[in-house]
Amino acid sequence: MSILEESFSSIHKKLHNKELKVSELVDASFSRIKEVDEQVQAFLTLNEEAAQNQAKKMDEALGTENTRGLLFGLPAGIKDNIVTSGLRTTCASQLLANFEPVHNATVMDGLEKAEAVTIGKLNMDEFAMGSSNENSGFKNVRNPWNTDYVPGGSSGGAAASVAAGEVSFSLGSDTGGSIRQPASYCGVVGLKPTYGRVSRFGLVAFASSLDQIGPLTKNVEDNALVLGQIAGHCTKDSTSADVDVSDYLSSLTGDVKGLKIAVPKEYLGEGVNEDVRNRLLEALKVLEGEGAVWEEVSLPHSQYAVAAYYLLASSEASANLARFDGVRYGVRAQNADNLIDMYKETRSQGFGDEVKRRIMLGTFALSSGYYDAYYKKAQKVRTLIKQDFDQILEKYDVIIGPTAPTTAFKIGEKVDDPLTMYANDILTIPVNLAGVPAISVPCGFSEGLPVGLQIISRPFEEGTVYRVAHAYEQAAEHNQAKPEL
């Protein structure tokens, strides 16, 4: 087994016992990338020299009394919409092909303090808009389990890099399912924290009321460890919550006796593939075996979530992406006669079709005469969806369903029809609208492709999400299988 497939605790034991050096770990990451990334296409930019220098310094500190960070030496991949000081950050857009941030996102400061090693920046759907990674302005990420298939999106590179054993963990972002859906398609663990749990400072904004950064890992314990290092209040993000960060590791008790699970009938209905439904029912049986109880419930407004989401997220995006105008950064179109033409040419040449489509939808929904009918209506429906969750989570500890209605689909299969593509996120979007935390954990396979189990809980109860995910993972042991590349 490659060292990068091992858990954090196993790697740390080897570092502690001097069976392994940080530089060997970091070298293993780059050589794996050289071996498989031509197929997977998860990375847009590598941080090789800086990472190797950092590793050498860390090796010198090994065995001294210097306090070690909880992510000491672990190779990390970072989604390319999280700004990294001095390291190119493109959001997978041609418009930002040359952008080198002058500061770090708050989460990067967290990783630095925990002594993780940044290996490189990960491919994604342009500005996080997409569910398949086919909207990257550079190249498509491919699913490590079968490279003819999409890895999901928008954090496709973040999920694929972990599944392919290129890094120990990655950071992604989730606006409507962008961590959980690719985690499900690639067979890794991905958490979307409660809105406000992790600072968005330095996350290039897509839809500010929905975006959250979260970790992707091979197992639940590692995931909890990473979250502990990036969560917390941040004065640079006014929507970051001043709520204490719990000790997530202490939640991993393995005990789910008496746990009350709600299973929404809308998450098992039409459009959910039969194998996916069967894997979910098997997973519920595993949790029942551990002493949990489940009941079918209804989240009656689920069917309206996708429509409300596309209006709200696109409206917010149309405002957020106004800043990409070729003035202060980015690739400016040449030969424009005046300022307005320069804006238009820069944006038209720099943005891909999906980004343009969403900016136009959002501009339309916010424009005079349509604001009440579309934008405000969607905000009211968001209230109804949030109330659905509040009511169920008053009576139950967690809501469980599949992460996505199907497994990964073939590259090119849905690319021509935006509405079919949007339907992939039907089970993840409501969670962002409600602002609650949710995880995707592997729960088996359908025709050789991974299926994900989604566990949702109350605001700021990531500990509960992790406890249930961990108990399931330990009882089911699905995370043993590895893709062959």
Partner 1 sequence: MERITKEQVRHVAHLARLSVTEEEAATFTEQLDAIIEFAEQLNELETENVEPTTHVLDIHNVLRKDEQRPSLDREEALKNAPDQEGGQVKVPSVLE
To the nearest 10°, the Cα dihedral for 168, 171, 177, 181?
-20
Say if residue 477 is exposed, middle or buried (CB neighbours under 10 Å; 0-12, 13-18, 19+): exposed
> If DSSP codes are grouped into helix, strand and coil, which group holds residue 414?
coil
- Peptide bond just before 250 cis, omega within 30 deg: no
> In angstroms, rounded to a whole number, what is the distance separating the alpha carbons of residues 224 and 408?
26
Give catalytic status of residue 155 as yes or no: no
Give catalytic status of residue 482 as yes or no: no
Catalytic residue among 161, 168, 178, 199: 178
Interaction between residue 271 and partner 1 (CB under 8 A)? no
Q: Where are the alpha helices (DSSP H) in 122-176?
A: 156-163
Binding-residue total with partner 1 (CB under 8 A)? 68
> In angstroms, rounded to a whole number, what is the distance separating the alpha carbons of residues 193 and 207?
15
Residues 178-217, one symbol each (x = binds partner 1 by CB under 8 A, - = not), give -----------------xx------------x--------
> In angstroms, rounded to a whole number, what is the distance separating the alpha carbons of residues 70 and 8?
9
Q: Which of 341, 395, 410, 448 binds partner 1 (CB under 8 A)?
A: 341
Say if residue 68 is exposed, middle or buried (CB neighbours under 10 Å; 0-12, 13-18, 19+): middle
Indicate the residue among 55 and 342 with the shorter CB distance to partner 1: 342
Q: Which of 117, 122, 231, 311 binds partner 1 (CB under 8 A)?
A: 311
Angle subtended at Cα 320 by Cα 47 and Cα 428, rounded to the nearest 5 degrees = 80
Catalytic residue among 23, 29, 79, 246: 79
Q: How far is CA 428 from CA 157, 176, 261, in A?
A: 19, 6, 17
Give catalytic status of residue 79 as yes or no: yes
Angle subtended at Cα 401 by Cα 123 and Cα 164, rounded to the nearest 5 degrees = 30
Q: Which of 253, 298, 327, 448 binds partner 1 (CB under 8 A)?
A: 327
Interaction between residue 45 and partner 1 (CB under 8 A)? no
Q: Which of 18, 258, 270, 328 binds partner 1 (CB under 8 A)?
A: 328
Q: Which of residues 423-462 bind partner 1 (CB under 8 A)?
A: 433-435, 459
Q: What is the DSSP letter of 245?
A: P
Q: Which of residues 364-383 bind partner 1 (CB under 8 A)?
A: 364, 367, 374, 376-383
Indicate the residue among 64 and 368 with the shorter CB distance to partner 1: 368
Interface residues toward partner 1, by CB under 8 A: 98-100, 102-103, 195-196, 209, 235, 238-239, 241, 301, 303-304, 306-308, 310-311, 318, 322, 325-332, 336-345, 347-348, 351, 356-357, 359-361, 363-364, 367, 374, 376-384, 386, 418-419, 433-435, 459
Which amino acids are annotated catalytic? 79, 154, 178
